[in-house]
Amino acid sequence: MVIRHKFFYLNLFTAVAVLGIVNSALFWQFWYHDLPCPLCLLQRIGFAAVGIGFWMNTRFGDHPTHYGIALIGALYTLAAAGRQMLLHIAPGTGSYGDPLFGLHLYTWSVITALLLITWSAVLLLLHSSGTAAPSSHAIPPHFAKSLVDFLLVLTILLLLGNALSTLWECGFYPCPDNPTHYKW
């Protein structure tokens, strides 16, 4: 079996980039002792859905349903991050967390979600127009399979790490609006 779709590496790059976003949020949480709020946790779920959609394209081939999963995840992230940004947009309401390059992480999430929506839509349009049809440049199956399976293992470990950190932060109860310490 030879994998022959043209956008394999574009989907793989996007899945790895989104995995990096979720990983950096987890790193930020522990390195800077900056506990995520409930909306931050929802943004991580949305980014994970985007990554899973693009991972499915690398594993099972380009399919509109996989782009749909990525688009829904990006829209979900946009809704959660947009809500958080609107909570802090009025003067005197403060902000949540420390800024990164002058913008707060939820603002970066809005920007990234908009970019992912645009990127997913472009790839979906190219797929629908036939541009993403199989190319003559075949990807060796052993390379593709091992790379994609490695990405799956990383994704599962990252999602498990996020689930455990959320359990550590919130326990089995609703997460506090402005967490200051871990429950456990």
CATH of the domain at 5: 1.20.1550
Does 57 fall in a domain?
A: yes
Contact 58, 15 (CB under 8 A): yes
Does 82 fall in a domain?
A: yes
Does 107 fall in a domain?
A: no
Answer with the residue of higher pLDDT: 91 or 174: 174
- pLDDT category at 129 given cuts 50, 70, 90 is low
Number of domains in the chain: 1
56 phi/psi in degrees, rounded to 5: -60, -35
Q: How far, in Å, CA of 144 to CA of 151, rounded?
A: 11
Does 121 fall in a domain?
A: no
Does 103 fall in a domain?
A: no
Does 76 fall in a domain?
A: yes
Does 113 fall in a domain?
A: no
Does 65 fall in a domain?
A: yes
Structural domain boundaries enclosing 79: 1-89+132-184
- Beta-carbon contacts of 51 under 8 Å, excluding residues fewer than 6 positions away, are 15, 18, 19, 22, 73, 155
Residue 159, pLDDT above cutoff 70? yes
Summarised one tens digit per residue, pLDDT across range 79-123 is 999 998 888 787 777 667 666 788 788 889 999 999 999 999 998
What's the length of the chain? 184
Contact 53, 66 (CB under 8 A): yes
